Amino acid sequence: MGEIIRLEHVSKKFGGLVAVDDFSGEIETGSIVGLIGPNGAGKTTLFNMMSCTYPPTSGKIFYKGVDVTKARTDTMAARGLARTFQVTKPFGDMTVVENFMVGAFLHTKDRATARKQAEEIYDYIGMSCGRDKPANETTTVDRKKLEIGRALATKPELLLLDEVMAGCNPQEKLELVETCRKIQKCGITLVVIEHDIKTIMTLCEKIVILHRGAKLTEGTPEQVANDPRAISAYLGEDYHAGC
């Protein structure tokens, strides 16, 4: 199927701090990839560059074969890249469906069409709070689904999920794993940042470990779980023994 996004020797410096250090890699179209690593490893920074929130200090990014290193976020959204934020930022006073409509307005100016699409997303994503619940009154798991739904409403081809499972209990995490699988089945490529190793290993076909801004290793969950560098720097002996 080929790659949907490719990063070539991408680095990001904030003053003297190297947040991402010479990262190269690509994401296969239609795949679901896990991006893991300790706090401060540079995962969100990598998402910010992939979505063109800011450009890399050096290196190049190609999306669907086009150099987007200096593109704008709205251009990327229009070309089919959507992301969620580690700290959720819903429009709190607006209802769930109205939040989805904001995403739908990327492709239509017609209110009725946007509402119809937003209601379809509500049904698709399996929320239980009610369409007209104000966003700031939803539970943690529904808040996460709301984030995902808002991104889906923009009709993405590549969806970047930044810790959507954080703060959820094991049952809720399972629900979100199913949501991700359902999204992948619709042909959308996913990159998922997550600290719960077991969950990410279950969900993803490929895992990339970031450590101090650089790629430590990548491969199938099994390959990564047995990689001595990954075990000593991040996963730990306990995880390895539990596999």
Ligand X SMILES: Nc1ncnc2c1ncn2[C@@H]1O[C@H](COP(=O)(O)OP(=O)(O)OP(=O)(O)O)[C@@H](O)[C@H]1O
| Residue of the chain from 2, 9, 17, 78 that contacts ligand X (CB under 6 A) | 17
| Residue of the chain from 2, 9, 40, 93 that contacts ligand X (CB under 6 A) | 40
Give the nearer residue to ligand X in terms of CB position, either 12 or 98. Answer: 12
- State CA 68 to chain mean position distance: 18
Cβ atoms of residues 135 and 143 within 8 Å: yes
Cβ atoms of residues 132 and 96 within 8 Å: yes
**Shortest Å, Cβ 84 to Mg ion:** 11
Rounded Cα distance, 187 and 172, in Å: 23
40 binds, among ligand X, Mg ion, none (CB under 5 to 8 A by kind): ligand X
Give the nearer residue to ligand X in terms of CB position, either 115 or 212. Answer: 212
SS3 at position 186: coil
Cβ atoms of residues 7 and 26 within 8 Å: yes
* 29 scored as a contact of ligand X (CB under 6 A): no
* 43 scored as a contact of ligand X (CB under 6 A): yes
**Shortest Å, Cβ 25 to ligand X:** 15
Rounded Cα distance, 61 and 24, in Å: 9
Task: Please list, in sequence order, all residues whose beta carbon lies within 8 angstroms of the beta carbon of residue 51, skipping any fewer than 6 positions away.
Answer: 73, 76, 81, 83, 160
Please identify, among the stretches 12-20, 123-131, 136-144, 167-175, the one whose residues bind ligand X according to the rule CB under 6 A: 12-20
* 37 scored as a contact of ligand X (CB under 6 A): yes
Indicate the helix (H) or strand (E) that contains 141. helix 140-152
* 44 scored as a contact of Mg ion (CB under 5 A): yes
Q: Which two tokens stand for residue 46?
A: 């990598």
Cβ atoms of residues 195 and 167 within 8 Å: no
**Shortest Å, Cβ 179 to ligand X:** 21
Give the nearer residue to ligand X in terms of CB position, either 125 or 173. Answer: 173
Rounded Cα distance, 119 and 144, in Å: 17
Residues near ligand X (CB under 6 A), total: 12
* 39 scored as a contact of ligand X (CB under 6 A): yes
Give the nearer residue to ligand X in terms of CB position, either 96 or 165. Answer: 165
Q: By CB under 5 A, name the binding residues for Mg ion.
A: 43-44, 86
Q: By CB under 6 A, name the binding residues for ligand X.
A: 14, 17, 19, 37, 39-45, 86
